[in-house]
Structure 1
Amino acid sequence: MTQEGGLLPQWRAPLESRLLLLLSPEISTRCEASKLHLSRLWAAMRHGVLNGGKRVRGLLLMGAARATGADPLSQTSLDLACALECVHAFSLVHDDLPCMDDDALRRGQPTVHVAFDEATALLVGDALQTLGFELVTSCGAPPERCLPMVRSLAQATGATGMAGGQAVDIGVVGQTMTQAELEDMHRLKTGALIRAAVQIGALAGPHGPDSQAFGALTRFAELLGLAFQVVDDILDAQSDTQTLGKTAGKDRESGKPTFISLLGPVASRDYAAQLHVQALAALETFGAEADPLREIAHALTRRAH
């Protein structure tokens, strides 16, 4: 899965085009000084979102929409996918800040606070998060679907999701964790937004949140999210900075508990493979309409970055 060709290019190309359009607004203000500063903010937002990335969460959303009978290339699906990519980018921009993970490299480029400054990076994260919610509420889905979409995204973003996971991640530096504790942390920090992407995509189709299809897709997302993190830990320990596009070995240097430090490389690989098989099993009631999700799962558990 190369960054240039990308996963599911027939979907990724329109997703990239829509992101570029959304992040290139015509700034309307009578004050030239305000226009200058707003232009800089939007430039920093583009740097945070458009500077590479695999678009995993957006493509998962589109795949879930396809699996439940919706058009993955409809305006609704594309705007929802863009919402997930904006929220994901917000989390990365904030994670990279000196007060968090203090990273200078992301997707092979300087992080937002390095390319611009810390205050701008903080504002970029805030703006991208709110843009994500704006896109969900204006995506064209009926209100009875928009409400659970917003709820899913909010739960994935706040204290019951990424923010909570990051709080644990910071707090356990230098400590040891059991496997159950490590998995709980990553279900919040990494898995929550992957789950939200699939749930929101499923809600774009005809099935409600109480349906069997919705439950199966949620199970798939939870297993894939955990597999994704196990592979991420393996790559952080065994790959290099140029390949990853971010600082390799950062978890070990920071003293963070990882699947590698807990299980070792061989058992971690085996566990990722086991989770992959279980994730695919969650899709067994779906036919070819879920093949894009299967393709994403294969790619994410075999990725090199």
Structure 2
Amino acid sequence: MSPTTPSFESRLLTTASSVEALLDELLSSGGQTGEITRPQRLLDAMRHGALNGGKRIRPFLVVESTALFGGNAKAALRVGCALECLHSYSLVHDDLPAMDDDDLRRGKPTVHIAYDEATAILAGDSLLTYAFDVIAAPETALSDRARVELVLALARAAGIGGMAGGQALDLAAEKQAPDEAGIVLLQSMKTGALLRFACEAGAIISEAPGEDRDRLRRFGEVIGRAFQLADDLLDLTSDAATLGKAAGKDAARGKGTLVALKGQEWAEAELDRLVAEAESLIGPYGEKAETLIEAARFIANRKH
């Protein structure tokens, strides 16, 4: 598997910086039309959950899948930030004592540790709601049709039939370990659904034909599987200092993973296969697809 290039790493960092700057602006104390006020402690907790660095791979995929079709780059960045707000909400809630009970996220105290549980719940609720605000707002300069399709696609990726449903399956897996098909289903929802949306969003933003949207959606599904498989490998092989969060927790809780079920050697071979499938899906777009292909390699090869 080919490593990513310095130009890709630079592009990833540049986009992450742009995302961080826009999130900082969106999560500022200045209210928006229709808001009454932004309570400072709640806003601080939201910022703690969302402005904590990271690779920002989901908004990067939104930006690059939009660039593939020559769509509106500024709108793509806003949609990417909306997705990052929603992703951040899921992490804030997943870390709660009633869920995964984690004290550390990206090397920093989780929101409920830095503030308190009630504030963490409200911060997550507010980040979730704000994601749809950002997409629907007039500043996201897209057609009404594109904005409605983005809201619908994100709601379905995030809700009962997507990420939230996947978290429910994940909690159930602590009591009864799923079989291989159950693990694949759980992971396609909990982790894969938002990555799938990130790639499909570029086609929606650009109002690309249905065939292109389907192809990018499938690309997102494939790299979503690769992301989770790489994550499970890291959980097995890394330590907390490397990951910035507790390592080995899935194994300790008895959660089934494909790595535990089929072994490290199989997982590494499967990652190679998934990257090859991702490349074949968007290879027909030629040089324009190279950044997304490198993103697939990066996801499969990441070490933290």
Partner of residue 274, structure 1: 273
How big is each residue's C-alpha offset from its partner over 1:101-136, in whole Å with a ceiling of 9 and x where there is no partner? 001111110100001000011001100011100111
TM-score by length of 1: 0.92
> Shift in Å at residue 25 of structure 1?
2.7
Matched, 1:44 2:45: yes
Do the aligned residues in 1 keep the contact of 2:177 with 2:254 (CA within 8 Å)?
no
Pairing 1:88–2:82 present: no
Is the 2:283–2:289 contact (alpha carbons within 8 Å) kept by the matching residues of 1? Answer: no
Answer yes or no: is the 8 Å Cα contact 1:223–1:275 preserved in 2.
yes
Alignment of 1:1-305 (within 5 A): 8-26=12-30, 38-72=39-73, 74=74, 76-138=75-137, 139-208=140-209, 211-305=210-304
Work out the CA distance in 2 between the residues paired with 1:217 and 1:27: 36
d(CA) in 2 for partners of 1:152, 1:60? 15
Q: Which runs of 5+ in 2 are unaligned?
A: none
Deviation per CA, 1:157-198: give whole Å up to 9, x if none: 110001100010000114332222111111110000111111
Report how far residue 279 of structure 1 moved: 1.2
2:13–2:55: 8 Å Cα contact kept in structure 1?
no
In 1, Cα distance between equivalents of 2:72 and 2:146? 16
- Aligned equivalents of 2:16 and 2:286: distance in 1? 22
Question: 8 Å contact 2:85–2:128 — kept in the other structure?
Answer: yes
Matched to 2:146, the amino acid is: R
| 1:8 counterpart SS class | helix
- Between Structure 1 and Structure 2, how many residues are aligned? 293
Aligned-pair CA distance for 1:297: 1.0
Letter in 2 for 1:17: A
Distance in 1 (CA, whole Å) between partners of 2:101 and 2:128 is: 20
Q: Partners of 1:202 and 1:66 in 2: how far apart?
A: 9
Aligned AA for 2:208?
H
Q: Which amino acid aligns with 1:199?
A: E
SS in 2 for 1:300: helix
Shift of 1:82: 0.4
Structure 1: which 5+ runs fail to align?
29-33
Amino acid at match of 1:46: R
Residues in 2 aligned to 1:71 and 1:144: alpha-carbon distance in whole angstroms? 15
Residues 186-213 of structure 1: per-residue CA shift (max 9 Å, x gap): 11100001111111222111314xx221
Return the offset for 1:27. 5.1
Offset at residue 12 of structure 1 (A) = 2.3
Q: Which residue of 2 aligns with 1:31?
A: none
Segment drifting more, 171-180 vs 47-56: 171-180
CA distance in 2, matches of 1:102, 1:171: 15
TM-score, normalising length: structure 2: 0.92
Q: Is the 8 A contact 1:6 1:12 kept in 2?
A: no
Q: C-alpha separation between the residues in 1 aligned to 2:224 and 2:43?
A: 30
Farther-moved stretch of structure 1 (186-195 vs 197-206): 197-206
For the aligned residue pairs, the C-alpha RMSD in angstroms reads 1.9
Measure the CA separation in 1 of the matches of 2:11 and 2:89: 22
- Identical amino acids, percent of aligned pairs: 41
